[in-house]
Amino acid sequence: MEPTAAPSLRDRLRRAVEEGLERNIRRFLRFRGTRPGEPVELQALGLPGRFPENRFAHACTEDEAVELAKLADRFFAKGVYFIFNAIDPAVATRAAPGKWHTAKKNESTTDAEIRRRLCLFVDVDVRRPKETSATDDELEAALETGGRVFSALAELLGSESALGLGHSGNGAAVLIALADLDESVELAATVKGARRVAGAARDGGRRDRRRGQRREAALPGVGHDQAEGRVEHLGAAASADGVRLLR
Classify 41 as helix, strand or coil: strand
pLDDT tens, 10-41? 888 778 768 888 887 898 899 889 999 999 99
Q: How far apart are the first and last CA of the chain?
A: 32
Q: Mention every residue, 6+ apart, whose C-beta is less than 8 A from residue 237.
A: 12, 13, 15, 16, 19, 24, 27, 244, 245, 246, 247
The model carries a pTM of 0.75
pLDDT tens profile 117-129: 888 888 888 888 9
In order along its 247 residues, the chain shows pLDDT tens digits of 555 667 888 888 778 768 888 887 898 899 889 999 999 999 999 999 888 899 999 999 999 999 999 999 899 998 888 998 999 999 999 999 999 999 988 778 988 899 998 888 888 888 889 888 899 999 999 989 989 999 998 998 899 989 988 887 788 888 888 888 788 888 777 777 766 665 655 544 444 444 455 555 665 544 444 333 222 333 333 322 333 333 2
Give the residue from 216, 172, 247, 238 showing the smallest Cα distance to 77.
216
For the chain, domains (ranges, CATH) are 9-246 (3.90.920)
User: Phi/psi zone of residue 204: left (φ > 0), alpha (ψ -120 to 50 degrees), beta?
Assistant: left
